[in-house]
A and B are shown apart, each in its own frame.
Chain A
Amino acid sequence: MPNPTATTLPDARGRFGAYGGAFVPETLVGALRELAQAYDDARRDPAFQRELDRTLADFVGRPTPLCFAPRLTELAASRSKTGGAAQIWLKREDLCHTGAHKINNTMGQALLAKRMGRTRIIAETGAGQHGVASATAASRMGLSCDVYMGSEDARRQRLNVVRMRLMGARVIEVDSGSRTLKDATNEAMRDWMGSSDTTLYIIGSVVGPHPFPMIVRDFQSVIGREAREQCLREWNALPDCVVACVGGGSNAAGIFHPFAQDEGVALVGVEAGGRSTNAGDHAAPLAFGSPGVLHGSMSYVLQDEHGQTADVHSCSAGLDYPGVGPEHAYWKDAGRVRYTHVGDDAALDAFVAMSETEGIIPALETSHALAHAIDLAATMQPDQRVLVNLSGRGDKDVDEAARLLEARQKPAQ
């Protein structure tokens, strides 16, 4: 078994054990190598790190708080057989500028784009959070920005389309395939194949060909580094368990990675269980998929028996993706992270519970992690602590949540 606590991954070929790599047309190899080299230079450059830190502090609003959730903990206790539950603590990424963790990565990559002399960035987006974070970074740094978004997602997330356009980004609606995140990703890769001389593709999650999974993980690891310090300062201890939702897996990788060597800290990733465990009804490749190649890397993927990408479903557009980052595949096989899944209904319940008990409307993505954290805390002791990555706020989801809640109240036809 590979060493699950290795911090030297990925290797020079971009592999996390058997996963990762760069399965891309030769046309992209030069651009990926240039990016890997530029990133390697940047991360060794104290001036780059200072500029990034300052941007994260002044503009993004870091560090984000570590916050106890007393009434959510009470709710968990009320569901416990013993009447007690582990304390639920929140890492408040919802308080980042633009409302989600995505901006940690886009500010880092946009700084990298400037350092590489690029004048334009492109991005794919599903729910629109990464698109908004990319548009924000571009506006702040004077880069032009095109965001690819499936036309189905653009319809569902109209508010974020408006936000992107307000900040000067062009939103290009994608009508191919399923008209969602995977198709937007295809289009962004296609754009980059012809534009890499002027353009950096800022991928939104820990997916895609090397070096993207590494770069995005590193920029998102600020979440886990801060959280780990805050835990030690606040409790003089580490959490017993860290829980995060997993679509592509960037918020999870960001909070897990700095805890990966802490053997006493259990790490739990929560995928989107959707409507059912039937193919096409969920978006949980780690639970129901198998190793394969999608968007340039080897990882768990939802494909049919012929290698075609499968349909996926989740109530949350940000988790509605048939692949997952290769490092998660590695952590799964190595047994370092336990992955589970939570369905639409349970996520919606947690969305309501969080709003009612803590005065925080969470993103539907994050609600999957919260649902599992409540259940988990109910099986633990009151002197234990569960840390949840509250990866984003739910303003973008209120229309969709209202629609789902209303549908629930109607008797089945």
Chain B
Amino acid sequence: MTRIDDAFTDVRAARAAGRAPSRGVLAPFVVAGRPSLAALPDMLVAMERAGAGIVEIGIPFSDPIADGPVIAGAMHKALLDGVTPHTALEAIGAARDRVKMGLVAMVSVSIVQRLGAAAFCRECAAAGLDGVIFPDAPLEEAPRFTEPAREAGLDAVLLVAPSSPPERAAEIASMCSGFVYMLARAGLTGEREGAPDAAALRERVHAARAASGLPVACGFGISRPEHVRAILRQADADAAIVGSALVRRIEDGIGRGEDGAHAASAFVAELAAGLD
């Protein structure tokens, strides 16, 4: 059992018994190096205590085209501080033994390609990561990234979009391991006023779960406890991913001179209310 499988133990048991899970998984996203790499271990510990089941750690990239201004801005600041993929993975390695939850990196294929997919994935595994999300690797280009990840013993996660036709969505889902990342909306990462259209998502979530046999995590535009609840209850997803809304709170905290752990754990705790 991997740590990612562990996160979904209850979910799987409920699904196997034909029940809806009583409690889904919360998967917050943070940018490595914000506020600092040294702060990452404490932040992860605080988020785990506050109810995170899996944490996604974004490796800063200079040109993250799928990210909205909040995450792109945080990545830019991390890069100005000199954060590199190697130092980010070192920091993750330093944090690994302090938390039990699953840790996955989210990284642009521009970086993976430059470092070499096999070498990068081995480095991720050595740092104690459990998986890698490749947000800009479409189906056609995916094997050159997913196969080295699996060879390194990592789960490899790809994204399914609302615009992915059903057959293609099933094919993407079946190439994933660990979980499937389903975009709750078109467009970019970022907070939105309204809740995602959970009812419309439900059918796609079911299809992805059926195609892959994996849990399905939904992200993009999820920023409130009631969004988390809608994703888990109405859309029947297994996990809710929260990125920009959390990153914004961490950035706001940094603006007040905080270390990030407090802002992160407070907001994760708030979101976790949506799990029940």
Contacts and interface: CB of A to CB of B under 8 A. Distances in A.
Interface in A185-219: 186, 189-190, 193-194
A133 to B, nearest CB: 23
A23 B64 CA distance: 12
Interface in B180-207: 183, 186-188
A105 B135 CA distance: 30
Contacts of B62: 177, 308-309
A176 B75 CA distance: 11
A134 B187 CA distance: 23
Contacts of B186: 27, 193-194
A26 B79 contact: no
B253 interface: no
Contact of A13 (B61, B140, B164): B140
Contact of B112 (A21, A29, A307): A307
Q: Is the interface of A mostly helix, strand, loop or mixed?
A: mixed
A158 to B, nearest CB: 25
B113 interface: yes
Interface stretch (B17-25, B33-41, B153-161): B153-161
Contacts of B86: 306
Contact of B141 (A21, A194, A294, A306): A21
Nearest to A291: B113
Chain A: interface size category: 20 to 34
B111 A306 contact: yes
A177 B183 CA distance: 26
Nearest to B88: A306
B76 A177 contact: yes
A225 B63 CA distance: 36
A23 B86 CA distance: 23
B84 interface: yes
Most chain B C-beta atoms within 10 Å of own C-beta, residue among A21, A193, A292: A193
Contacts of A294: 63, 110
A24 interface: yes
Nearest to B162: A27
Interface stretch (B50-58, B65-73, B229-237, B242-250): B65-73
A91 interface: no
B140 A292 contact: no
Q: Which of A29, A305, A307 has the most CB of B within 10 A?
A: A307
Nearest to A195: B187
A194 B63 contact: no
A303 B111 CA distance: 9
A194 B187 contact: yes
Interface of B: 61-66, 68-69, 72-73, 76, 79, 84-86, 108-115, 135-141, 158-165, 168, 172, 183, 186-188
7 contacts: A23-B141, A27-B183, A176-B76, A194-B188, A293-B113, A303-B110, A306-B114
Q: Which 8 A-B pairs have the closest CB atoms?
A: A194-B187, A307-B114, A307-B111, A30-B163, A25-B66, A26-B161, A308-B62, A293-B110
Given A13-B140, A23-B136, 14 more contacts: A21-B141, A24-B138, A27-B186, A29-B139, A30-B165, A31-B163, A176-B73, A193-B187, A193-B188, A292-B113, A292-B114, A295-B65, A303-B110, A307-B108
